[in-house]
């Protein structure tokens, strides 16, 4: 529980700094307290973990897909979470001084807490799917942090690039995790780690390994996916110190460590991981030497050091894994302090360009000292932490088979040599040399507390370097044990192991690196001739642009002749696919047909005639609307005949409203369509229409004649005992499938809102004459006016009756709503807008919204009784005089449906009707 | 009876498709209305036809399949919403562009 609180604390409180943004100190203070709280919780749990127990917390989240909110704290998670909380705390303190008053520091700390929570989640997740969720959250929050200075194009591009690369990696990782889950049968980390044999033996192992590694390599900036990291340096420096040295880029490494027992130990693992690590280490160390930007140098050196850790993980020996964990810790300490030092230099001088910076040791001797110690740790100078983990790395490179037993040490020495050279450059170019001439600001020491985080980290570097066995060995043993999931081999952490080969390699690297730095000017001359286009950023951007251009070409190829052609293509494909589906075999009738009878024959004959009339007369719009009305009537008669009274009622009422609507709209539209399609086009359309109609008819007939069991038995049997109603259709609507109905009335509401919005400030030309050239009548029909008044109360009474009886007899909310709507519409028609609106304020969208809300609250009410959403209940009540009757909660739901339908119908028609009022006045 | 219903559905689909392919929004609107009739009848057919069935579960006798009916009932109301939306879209198009052609077609004349 404490563990879950620690992980969720940053998420829960992330809005706190943003809320406190007005003042200068509170945002940083609140964020710092959150980080302190997390650190305290971890410290509280640390003794439990140290005793060998596993702290776990688990609640099911989505059990059907195997996703649990499961957390674990073992040695490895503890180490990682400790880094996240500890360095997070230092970075918050540092950032408070780094950010200027113009920066929205509340927003910054909110993002930072979001990131911290996500990283803690990655470190402690005990379920691979959960890990993936937090993994994606780190990508998103780092996007926000890198792009924090959103005014700068560089920051936006860098953020986008980082999101693109790490997001693509996350997608690959998802594939890998799903494969692992499929093989293991569970996403639980314990099950996955125990099933290493099964995973490695599966034929899909190469695929899942590649996918997981893609995820890890993109996150940890391994070659060839390293290029996003240098561009992410557009972020504020505290972000770089936190994300790009200590935490986020280590997430990929952490994943490799976490899954090491399950995935490692195969030739594929060795070759892919160690090659990627080796190439990254050498390539990035080389590039780092040529970066003139301080943060650029640090970015590439980070990539290189991450490559070193990856290489160690790839080697696969238990000792190499221990070295990897050790170097991960050391790197976090010295790199975070270096980034902070670089930020201080930038902050106090206004530039990060090493060609302009020079001789700063005179102005900021204290910062310089700290930076020099940290840089020495990075270079692997004895007495510092970097030296010890590098020695371990050098020793491990001998453990391979020839020719690697001499090639690998050579490559390792070369990598060390470059790291000495760029470290020397960092120190010498910035802090020594002559006085800098054209610095934007006069350099001086930073505020006292801005340097505290650097001090703490540098002291850690020193302590670990001087007394590793004392300071760091217990933590290291704990973490490495959790990584390997088996007893650790013998090893000793010591400053001095005697004159052996690794020490000789260290000396070579130190001497060679300094020599390389001395001859750097010749190298630069060589390097500047290197082609600029060979950068990952350019290649990615070119790829993205090419993809965009290709899809634009595809789109313009498909969308040539407007909507009609697209529709035509769609229809032809649908008809062809349907024809293939039939396979040329005529359906074999297996049911006996119902007898036709005279009335159905007449009905269909009228239907065919009315349809034909619609097609022939479609350009005479008023006549076509009348013909469509006839078709609608026939359809509702068909519903009556086919034992569907509810449908017949609904269809009839909708028909009335639709025709009214069409007539209202007709006022603003041309009354006739001109003949503007050619004969050839009409023939083509006709052929396609006949084919579609024929296909639909054959399909309907085949379906009607095929044997089929329906699931209606269940609904019929349970309507009364389960839903308390005899009208099964209504019980399905308001009870069995009430969620669908809720969705549907919501869609109706959305349609009404869209219609109101579309008609907002519309300008429609009023037409003085009708289609025969006669002026429109200005008054209202007297007979309609007289008749409509007594009709309204009658219709309302009928609709209430239909609503109340709907559960047991034909009727219900939809039908009652349409009756009310139609009754009110007739008032509009008979008396005009002004008359109605005086008597009935037109707030119909609110009525619709109230209806949807009532329906939703009915559903929520069942939650209060511990039942699932939208569970219904009913009871029989006995009143004197009235007698015994039934009350069902579903009826309240139906009232919601009723109100929604009334509100929607009226808001649609009244909004259009109002246009008439405007047009008449104009 | 089955043959008659299939014939009716086929007729409605053919007319609906033809009208939906006309170059004027108003005709398209009529076409879509016809298509939605056809689809509703088709859905009803999926439950099997029954003449003179008992619509309520307390009445004796063969009962029609209630599930397609429930689906169609909401479909009718939703299609009303959609028709209304299309009508208003047509009005907006007329107001913005001055005509109700489906595609911009510089060749033809303004009515």
Confidence band (pLDDT; 50, 70, 90) for A469? confident
Bigger pLDDT: A866 vs A367: A367
Q: Which residue ranges make up each domain of chain A?
A: 319-547, 598-674, 725-765+782-922
- Mind spelling out the 3-state secondary structure of A757-787? HHCCCCCCCCCCECCCCCECCCCCCHHHHHH
Band of residue A657 on the pLDDT scale cut at 50, 70, 90: confident
Torsion on CA atoms A183, A187, A189, A194, rounded to nearest 10: -30
Interchain proximity B108–A676, CB inside 8 Å:
yes
pLDDT digits (tens, 9 = 90+) for A20-60: 877 778 888 899 999 999 999 999 999 988 888 888 999 98
Helix axes A679-705, B2-20, angle to 10 degrees: 150
- In the predicted model, is pLDDT for residue B111 greater than 50? no
pLDDT at A554 over 70: yes
User: Are B77 and A654 in contact (CB < 8 Å)?
Assistant: yes
- A-interface mutation test, from B52, B70, B78, most A Cβ less than 10 A away: B70
DSSP code per residue over A328-339 = HHHHHHHHHHHH
Phi then psi for A837, rounded to 5 degrees? Answer: -70, -25
The answer to whether residue A536 scores a pLDDT higher than 70 is no
Q: Is the pLDDT of residue B93 over 60?
A: yes
Query: Hey, are the CB atoms on B80 and A673 less than 8 Å from each other?
Result: no
For residue A531, with 0-12 CB atoms within 10 Å meaning exposed, 13-18 middle and 19 or more buried, which class applies?
Answer: exposed
Whether residue A748 and residue B66 make contact (CB cut-off 8 A), yes or no, is: no
| Tokens of residue A44, six digits | 């509280």
Separation CA A9–CA A30 (nearest Å):
12
pLDDT at residue A165 greater than cutoff 80: yes
Q: Which of A5-9, A452-456, A543-547 has the lowest mean pLDDT?
A: A543-547
Is any Cβ of chain A less than 8 angstroms from the Cβ of B39? Answer: no
**Residue contacts between A and B (CB atoms, under 8 Å):** 315
Contacting residues of A for B83, CB less than 8 Å apart: 658, 661
In chain B, residues with a C-beta closer than 8 Å to the C-beta of A563 are 102-103
* CB within 8 Å: A729 and B100: no
Tokens 């070579």 found at: A508
Give yes or no for residue A104 having a pLDDT over 70: yes
Residue A549 Cα to chain centre, angstroms: 25
pLDDT for res A788 = 82
Can you give the pLDDT at residue A130? 94
At A473-530, the pLDDT tens digits run 888 888 888 888 888 888 877 777 777 888 888 888 888 888 888 887 777 766 665 5
pLDDT digits (tens, 9 = 90+) for A663-714: 888 878 777 777 777 888 889 889 999 999 999 998 888 888 877 777 777 8
Name residue A879's beta-bridge partners: A883
Q: With an 8 Å Cβ cutoff, are B33 and A658 in contact?
A: yes
Q: Tell me what the mean pLDDT of segment B2-11 comes to.
A: 90
pLDDT score of A9 more than 80: yes
Contact predicate A255/A291, CB 8 Å? no
DSSP class of residue A711 equals S
Q: What is the mean pLDDT of chain A?
A: 85
Q: What pLDDT digit, counting tens, does each position of A716-727 carry?
A: 888 777 777 788
Q: Of A665, A664, A660, A652, which is closest to residue A814 (Cα–Cα)? A: A652
- For residue A206 the two structure tokens come to 């190469």
ipTM: 0.92
Instruction: Find chain B residues with C-beta within 8 A of A910's C-beta.
Output: none
Higher pLDDT, B5 or A880: B5
Reported as a single tens digit per residue, the pLDDT across A422-436 is: 999 888 888 887 777
Compute CA distances A572 → A311, A578, A689, B89, whole Å: 57, 10, 10, 27
> What is the spatial distance between Cα A898 and Cα A748, in angstroms, rounded to a whole number?
12
**Does residue A233 register a pLDDT over 60?**
yes
| Min Cα–Cα distance to chain B from A652, Å | 10
Let me know if A532 is exposed, middle or buried by CB neighbors in 10 A (0-12, 13-18, 19+).
exposed
Is A596 in contact with B19 (Cβ distance < 8 A)? no
Dist. CA A350–CA A801, nearest whole Å: 80
Question: Shortest Cα distance from B32 to chain A (angstroms)?
Answer: 11
The reply to whether B110 touches chain A by the CB within 8 Å rule is: no
| Least confident range of A106-115, A599-608, A886-895 | A886-895
pLDDT of residue A837: 74
CATH numbers and ranges of domains, chain B: 2-49+64-97 (1.10.287)
Check residue A634 and give its pLDDT.
Answer: 92
Q: Which of B7, B77, B88 sits opposite A697 (nearest CB)?
A: B7
Residue where the block lists tokens 């300008």: A763
State whether A720 and B30 contact (CB < 8 Å). no
Q: What is the secondary structure of A413-444 as a DSSP string?
A: HHHHHHHHHHHHHHHHHHHSSSPPS--SS---
Sign of torsion over alpha carbons A631, A637, A642, A645: positive
Chain B hits for A646, Cβ within 8 Å: 55, 69, 73
Whether the Cβ atoms of residue A653 and residue A818 lie closer than 8 Å to each other: yes
Q: What is the pLDDT of residue A203?
A: 92
Residue A112 pLDDT > 60: yes
Nearest neighbour of B13 by CB, restricted to A692, A708, A726: A692
How many Å apart are CA A204 and CA A211, to the nearest integer? 11
The confidence score (pLDDT) of residue A42 equals 92
User: What's the pLDDT score for residue B109?
Assistant: 41
- Specify the residue for token string 């020079």: A358
Report how far apart, in Å, the C-alpha atoms of A453 and of each of A117, A339, A387 are: 21, 11, 22
Confidence of residue B108 (pLDDT cuts 50, 70, 90): very low
Instruction: State the alpha helices, DSSP H only, in A583-711.
Output: 598-616, 621-641, 645-666, 679-705
Q: Is A60 helix (H, G, I), strand (E, B) or coil?
A: strand
* A567 burial level (CB within 10 Å; 0-12, 13-18, 19+): middle
CB contact under 8 A, B102 and A564: yes
Residue A644: pLDDT band with limits 50, 70, 90: confident
Please compute, for residue A879, the number of CA atoms within 13 A of its CA located in the half-sphere on the CB side.
6
Contact: A744, B74; criterion CB under 8 Å: yes
Q: Using pLDDT thresholds of 50, 70 and 90, give the confidence band for residue A352.
A: confident
- A898 Cα to chain B: minimum distance (Å): 12
Tell me which of A523 and A6 has the higher pLDDT.
Answer: A6
What distance lies between CA A595 and its chain's CA centroid?
57
Give the pLDDT score at A587: 60
Q: Is the pLDDT of residue A215 over 90?
A: yes
CB within 8 Å of A248: residues ≥ 6 apart:
A115, A119, A138, A142, A219, A242
CA of A575 vs chain B CAs: smallest distance (Å): 12
């Amino acid at each position: 529980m404490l563990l879950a609180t620690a992980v969720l604390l940053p998420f829960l409180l992330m809005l706190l700094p943003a809320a406190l943004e007005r003042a200068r100190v509170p945002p940083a203070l609140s964020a710092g307290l959150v980080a302190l709280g997390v650190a305290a919780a971890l410290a509280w749990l640390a003794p439990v973990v140290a005793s060998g127990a596993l702290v776990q917390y688990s609640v099911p989240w989505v059990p059907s897909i195997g996703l649990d909110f499961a957390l674990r704290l073992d040695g490895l998670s503890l180490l990682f979470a400790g880094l996240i909380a500890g360095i997070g705390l230092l970075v918050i303190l540092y950032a408070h001084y780094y950010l200027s008053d113009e920066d929205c520091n509340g927003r910054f700390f909110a993002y930072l807490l979001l990131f911290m929570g996500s990283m803690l989640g990655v470190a402690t997740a005990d379920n691979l799917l959960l890990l993936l969720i937090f993994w994606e959250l780190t990508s998103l929050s780092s996007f926000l942090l890198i792009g924090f200075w959103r005014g700068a194009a560089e920051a936006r591009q860098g953020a986008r690039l980082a999101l693109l690369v790490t997001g693509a990696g996350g997608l690959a990782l998802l594939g890998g995790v799903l494969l692992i889950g499929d093989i293991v049968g569970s996403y639980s980390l314990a099950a996955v780690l125990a099933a290493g044999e099964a995973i490695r033996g599966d034929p899909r192992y190469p695929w899942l390994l590649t996918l997981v590694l893609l995820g890890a390599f993109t996150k940890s900036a391994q070659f060839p996916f390293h290029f996003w990291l240098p561009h992410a340096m557009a972020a504020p420096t505290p972000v770089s110190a936190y994300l790009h040295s200590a935490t986020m880029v280590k997430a990929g490494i952490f994943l490799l460590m976490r899954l090491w027992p399950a995935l490692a130990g195969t030739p594929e693992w060795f070759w892919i991981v160690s090659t990627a690590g080796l190439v990254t280490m050498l390539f990035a160390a080389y590039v780092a030497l040529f970066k003139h930007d301080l943060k650029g140098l640090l970015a590439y050196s980070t990539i290189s050091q991450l490559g070193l850790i990856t290489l160690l993980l790839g080697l696969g020996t238990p000792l190499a894994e221990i070295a990897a964990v050790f170097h991960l810790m050391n790197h976090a300490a010295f790199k975070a302090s270096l980034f902070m030092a670089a930020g201080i230099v930038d902050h106090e001088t206004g530039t990060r360009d090493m060609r302009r910076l020079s001789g700063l040791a005179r102005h900021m001797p204290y910062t310089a000292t700290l930076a020099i110690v940290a840089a020495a740790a990075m270079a692997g100078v004895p007495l510092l932490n970097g030296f010890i983990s590098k020695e371990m790395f050098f020793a491990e490179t001998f453990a391979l088979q020839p020719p690697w037993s001499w090639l690998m040490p050579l490559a390792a020495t070369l990598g060390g040599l470059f790291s000495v050279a760029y470290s020397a450059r960092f120190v010498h170019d910035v802090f020594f040399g002559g006085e800098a001439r054209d610095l934007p600001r006069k350099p001086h020491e930073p505020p006292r507390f801005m340097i505290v985080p650097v001090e703490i980290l540098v002291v850690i570097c020193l302590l670990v370097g001087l007394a590793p066995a004392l300071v760091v060995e217990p933590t290291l043993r704990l973490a490495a044990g959790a990584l390997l999931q088996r007893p650790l081999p013998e090893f000793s952490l010591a400053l001095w192991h005697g004159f052996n080969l690794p020490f000789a390699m260290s000396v070579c690297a130190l001497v060679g690196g300094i020599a390389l730095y001395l001859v750097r000017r010749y190298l630069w001359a060589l390097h500047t001739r290197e082609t600029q286009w060979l950068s990952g950023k350019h290649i990615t951007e070119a790829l993205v642009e090419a993809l965009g251009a290709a899809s634009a070409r595809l789109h313009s190829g498909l969308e040539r002749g407007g909507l009609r052609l697209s529709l035509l293509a769609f229809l032809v494909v649908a008809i062809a696919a349907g024809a293939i589906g039939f396979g040329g075999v005529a359906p074999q009738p297996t049911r006996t047909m119902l007898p036709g009878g005279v009335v159905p024959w007449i009905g269909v004959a009228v239907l065919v005639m009315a349809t034909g009339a619609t097609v022939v007369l479609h350009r005479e719009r008023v006549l076509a609307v009348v013909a469509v009305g006839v078709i609608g009537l026939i359809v509702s008669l068909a519903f009556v005949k086919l034992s569907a009274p509810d449908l017949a009622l609904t269809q009839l009422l909708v028909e009335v409203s639709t025709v009214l609507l069409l007539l209202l709209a007709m006022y603003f539209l041309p009354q006739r369509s001109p003949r503007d399609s050619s004969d050839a086009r009409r023939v083509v359309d006709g052929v396609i229409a006949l084919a579609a109609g024929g296909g639909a008819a054959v399909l309907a007939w085949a379906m009607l004649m095929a044997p089929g069991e329906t699931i209606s038995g269940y609904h019929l049997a349970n309507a009364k005992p389960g839903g308390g109603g005899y009208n099964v259709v209504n019980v399905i609507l308001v009870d069995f499938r009430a969620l669908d109905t809720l969705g549907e009335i919501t869609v109706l509401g959305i349609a009404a809102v869209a219609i109101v919005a579309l008609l907002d400030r519309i300008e429609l030309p009023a037409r003085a004459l009708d289609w025969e050239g006669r002026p429109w009548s200005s008054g209202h029909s007297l007979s309609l006016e007289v008749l409509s008044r007594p009709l309204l109360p009658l219709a309302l009474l009928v609709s209430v009756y239909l609503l109340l009886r709907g559960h047991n007899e034909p009727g219900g909310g939809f039908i009652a709503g349409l009756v009310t709507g139609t009754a009110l519409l007739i008032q509009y028609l008979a008396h005009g807008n002004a008359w109605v609106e005086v008597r009935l304020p037109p707030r119909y969208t609110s009525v619709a919204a109230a209806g949807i809300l009532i329906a939703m609250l009915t559903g929520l009410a069942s939650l209060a009784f511990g039942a699932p959403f939208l569970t219904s209940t009913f009871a029989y009540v006995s009143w004197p005089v009235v007698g015994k009757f039934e009350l069902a909660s579903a009826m309240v739901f139906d009232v919601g449906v009723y109100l929604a339908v009334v509100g929607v119908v009226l808001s649609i028609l009244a909004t259009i009707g109002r246009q008439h009022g405007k047009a008449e006045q104009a | 009876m089955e043959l008659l219903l299939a014939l009716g559905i086929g007729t409605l689909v053919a007319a609906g498709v033809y009208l939906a392919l006309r170059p004027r929004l108003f005709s398209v609107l009529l076409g879509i209305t016809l298509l939605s009739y056809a689809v509703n009848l088709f859905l009803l057919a999926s439950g099997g036809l029954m003449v003179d069935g008992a619509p309520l579960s307390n009445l004796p006798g063969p009962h029609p399949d209630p599930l397609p009916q429930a689906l169609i009932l909401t479909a009718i109301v939703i299609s009303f919403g959609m028709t209304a939306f299309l009508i208003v879209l047509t009005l907006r198009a007329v107001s913005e562009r001055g005509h109700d052609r489906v595609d911009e077609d510089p060749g033809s004349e303004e009515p």
